[in-house]
Amino acid sequence: MKLNREKIIPHLKQASKLSFFEVQGNSYSAKEFIEKYKNLLSEKEQMIVDYSKDFINDTKIFPIPIANVSEKSELIIAEKKPNFLKKVGSRSAYLKSKKLKFKGCRPVGDDLYFPHEKLDFGDTKMVTTKIPFGVLTVENVMREILAFCFFKKYKLNFLHEPIEVFEYKKGKKIIGYCLLTKSESEERLESQENFLGLTVKDLIILSRIEKEEKIDIFSNVKSFQKISNEWYAENKGQLLADMNFNGGFRGVLNSNLGNDIEYKGGFYICDFDTFVVIEIPQKANYQFIKNFVLWCIIEIIKSSPFVFDYVNLGNIGKKESAKILWDIYTDKSMLWKKYFKKFLEYSRKNGWKEKDVMKAIDETIETEVFYEMILDNVLNSQVIKNTYKPELSFYTKQG
Amino acid sequence: MSENFKKIKNKISKTLIAEKKKKLKEELDELQNNSNIDIDIKLQDFIISRR
């Protein structure tokens, strides 16, 4: 799929003041919604939803859907609502006084799409499809609710309780969904991320000094201003290992450091619209272990803090480049070390042979998707030369 | 320049940084000439734009 970055970018840069109106469509409680669309999930996933359904909210706060649209929008059916919401990302809003988050509340138009990167279980190449911009799909909403049920079932930290779903319509046509959640905090750790005020060029020079002069410059840099690297790695490593070994995966799109939250001393992740749950077989064969390892590695490196280093990869090939960057990442990332320790503990409990796990890792780092992901963990010449201009990025900082 | 970077720079002599910059000039120029970004961009802006 060819991405039209220039067409999408202006829509990402909306003002921080939002305009909410009552619009065409329907409103469902979270419980009504899962009854209607549960069959979009796999059998295993439906069992998890059933297990936790007593925890699902069955009341509505807004009987008529509201949306963040321009005052000229043809979707509007009633007068403007008071402007009480704060922007979150490019398509969501937060009502701090009531701790309500509106995810996908910008039905901007039905001909505008956002890229959706997907890696199916067993595949080694990502597929890019498209999703409507500004809103969620019905499946996205079900996956958010599934994640809530999954985290409840396995008693894992979770911060966003699904409350209600808006189904936006233009005439008879459904144009997208918005999920309303009770959200204790939207303060993302990304807003505390520490890059030392360096430029790309500064890092290149300093990393060369560090290597050639053997001066320790970066080993004690705090990734976040207010929390320690040890606390972050320990808590996130544990949560991700617990999630993965109970069969839960966020997918490439949701595995992002921008979705990390520290709240009252606890570590949380959010954003689960591509969340899936797979069955972990009692006796896993090597093929399963290999596919599982690939998914785990992609998700952990996709959401790891940046490693302070630079490598000039020159003209060497993808596989060799991937190996060099992986060696640096595994040597320097505290998150990886903590996560992998827990990974090995779980895999031993599952009866997986360590030599199979290590072989699966060796095969993972030779895949196309791994190369694409590891390029962003350690700064290198290939990513600098092949990147798009920063102003064409689709990412909206969450913090 | 940020306070953090000043602290780092204090660990390293200005002469060493100048020397290294000079030594790396060709490599940095080559990188700049073959890239869509200005390598004087803030690291934070660059990394976040890739997420």
A24 confidence band (pLDDT: 50, 70, 90): very high
| Interstrand relation of A25-29 and A160-170 (parallel, antiparallel or unpaired) | antiparallel
DSSP A325-353: HHHHHHHH-HHHHHHHHHHHHHHHHTT--
C-alpha radius of gyration, chain B, whole number: 13
Domain membership flag for residue B4:
no
- For A275-317, the pLDDT digits (tens) are 999 999 999 999 999 999 999 999 999 999 999 999 999 999 9
Rounded to 10°, the helix A286-302/A354-364 angle is 60
pLDDT at A392 over 90: no
| Tokens at A44, concatenated | 């295993």
For the residues B13-41, what does the mean pLDDT come to?
A: 92
Domain membership flag for residue B20:
no
Q: What confidence score (pLDDT) does residue A296 get?
A: 98
Neighboring chain A residues of B4 at a CB cutoff of 8 Å? 194, 196-197
Q: What confidence score (pLDDT) does residue A116 get?
A: 85
Domain membership flag for residue B32:
yes
Helix (H, G, I), strand (E, B) or coil at A155: coil
B37, A197: Cβ pair inside 8 Å? no
B17, A209: Cβ pair inside 8 Å? yes
Q: What are phi and psi of A255, to 5 degrees?
A: -80, 90
Domain membership flag for residue B50:
yes
B21, A194: Cβ pair inside 8 Å? no
- For A367-378, the pLDDT digits (tens) are 999 999 999 999
Domain membership flag for residue B48:
yes
DSSP lists the bridge partners of residue A93 as: A87, A102
Q: Which domain covers residue B35, as residue numbers?
A: 25-51
Nearest C-alpha neighbor of A108 from the set A233, A221, A197, A18? A18
Torsion of CA A306, A307, A308, A312, to 10 degrees: -110
Q: Which of A129-143, A235-249, A379-393 has the highest mean pLDDT?
A: A235-249
For the residues A255-264, what does the mean pLDDT come to?
A: 95
Neighboring chain A residues of B35 at a CB cutoff of 8 Å? 384-385, 387
Distance CA A116, CA A130 (A): 5
For the residues A242-251, what does the mean pLDDT come to?
A: 98
Chain B residues contacting A via beta carbons under 8 Å? 1-5, 8, 11-12, 16-17, 20-21, 24, 27-28, 31, 34-37, 39-51
Number of domains composing chain B = 1
For chain B, the maximum distance between any two Cα atoms, rounded to a whole number of angstroms, is 36
Domain residue extents for chain A:
22-183, 191-390
